[in-house]
Amino acid sequence: MGGEAEMTQMAASLEEAPDGRLRITTEPAASDAAGCVVVRVHGEIDAFTAGTLREQTISASAPLIRPRIVLDLDQVTFCDSSGLNALIAIWKIVRSRRGELMVARPPEVCRRILARTGLDQHIGVSPTVRHALQRIAPK
């Protein structure tokens, strides 16, 4: 579990899509949820930015043996089918590594997409980041 310890010591990082429409901040969770990473997403998730979201989320969880990721979508202003595909890709990769993915604070546009597609039956949805971390933190 050395990877999990390393992750909790990493500083937060900030990535931005080339056109500036999406900003992603990743940070290790507090010590009470060690082994988890919080990915905060700001802006639009579409065909031009979905790849950045997917790559940065997977990269942030790379040091973890069993990744536990909380995607904080509170500041997402737009999400289309490319964003949905990015969420599915992230979920599949996390599951293949026996990890867990939670979506926290999704705005209405994201909640509708998750519900209409049934993805909310596979990816946990939480009203707060803290609640999401409590649900997926290693016991």
3-class state of residue 101 by DSSP: strand
Close Cβ partners of 42 (under 8 Å, ≥ 6 residues apart): 22, 23, 24, 25, 75, 76
What is the Cα–Cα distance from 5 to 72, expressed in whole angstroms? 22
DSSP for residue 30 = P
Give the start-to-end residue ranges of the domains of the chain.
2-136
Q: What is the pLDDT of residues 43-92, one digit of tens each?
A: 999 999 999 999 999 999 888 889 999 999 999 999 999 999 999 999 99
3-class state of residue 79 by DSSP: strand
Whether residue 116 is predicted with pLDDT greater than 60 in this model: the reply is yes
CATH topology of domain 2-136: Transcription Regulator spoIIAA (3.30.750)
**pLDDT (average), residues 4-29:** 66
Q: Quick count: other Cβ atoms within 10 Å of Cβ 118? A: 8
Close Cβ partners of 86 (under 8 Å, ≥ 6 residues apart): 45, 50, 51, 53, 54
Residue 132 Cα distances to 20, 21, 43, angstroms = 28, 26, 21
Confidence of residue 17 (pLDDT cuts 50, 70, 90): low
The pTM is what?
0.85
